[in-house]
Amino acid sequence: MNPIKNASLKKYNTFGFDVQCSHLIEIHNETDLLELYAEDFFDNHFRVIGGGSNILLTRNYSGGILLNRLMGHWMESEDEHSIDITFGAGENWHQTVLHCVKNNWGGLENLSLIPGCVGASPIQNIGAYGIEVKDKIVSVRVFDTTSGEFVILSNEDCRFGYRDSIFKRAEYKHLIVTSVTFHLSKINHELKLNYGDIQHELKQQNVSQPTIADVSNAVIAIRRSKLPDPAVLGNSGSFFKNPVVEMDIFKAAQLKYPEIKWFPVDETHVKVAAGWLIETAGWKGFKKGNVGVHEKQALVLVHFGGGKGEEISSLAREIQTDIHDKFGIVLEFEVNIW
């Protein structure tokens, strides 16, 4: 390990903001973590970056940044029906999904083309097109920076919620994800086709009996048609969560906006489409200085270049306030603001 002092984080966050940290360290194996623990590195302020696709950097960071580059994959168990396979936290998420699809391991195909690394998948409980990754996670291996030990957390231990887990809470920030184990099907795949435009895209591609590869290709095509490439236009994907609201709040909004898009959750709650709220409020395609709202997807805030993270943060809060004023609904950020 060779720490880089006063390092720029511009190429390590998909918004492309040029902020610095006091020192930057790449972690390539679990031994690196043990060495840092022995050197009392974790006694000071530190944060971990994987793909940098779900963070908004608003200022220089006085502590150390660990780049999670723990790679590799290995089988835990297998039978004729399913496989339990582990991937290192530093592996690229999309390439991991493609690897599973290529090997006919089903379960993650609806999560194709989501930016980031494997280690972020349980932290955010990533989801798309009717799938949440929690439904495929067996366990998460973590390094406890307070004890210097590696611990395996079960799916239940992670307390997954909508785009949420224990890893997002302050009292668990001492845990670093090192690998994730998934349970995937080998035969009789349970395809999820009824969310979003998947069926329409499959029809456009003349697919009548889809495989998991067909579903993956459909999701990739849909995402590419709607979402900007971070390599071309700085962004972190969906900036806001779809809000889950109580029925009385929803009914009040529906009375004013009968066409409001929503999905049932339970008898007392519904999930409202945040993108619909933002677009209906007139923010889609909005531009302010160096930042704005994407012209094709209102959930995505973009950085045109030359700006600062605070500009995105300010815009996000303006949108948040406006949505509450118009609909009585509170939008929560999906992106972590540093």
Question: Which residues form the catalytic set?
Answer: 163, 238, 334
Neighbours of 275 (CB within 10 A): 18
* Joined tokens for residue 102: 């290529």
Contacts for 43 with CB less than 8 Å, ≥ 6 apart: none
β-strands 336-337, 55-56 pairing: parallel
In whole angstroms, what is the distance from residue 152 CA to residue 21 CA? 30
- In the sheet with 61-68, reading across from the earlier edge strand, the strands are 4-8, 20-27, 61-68, 46-49
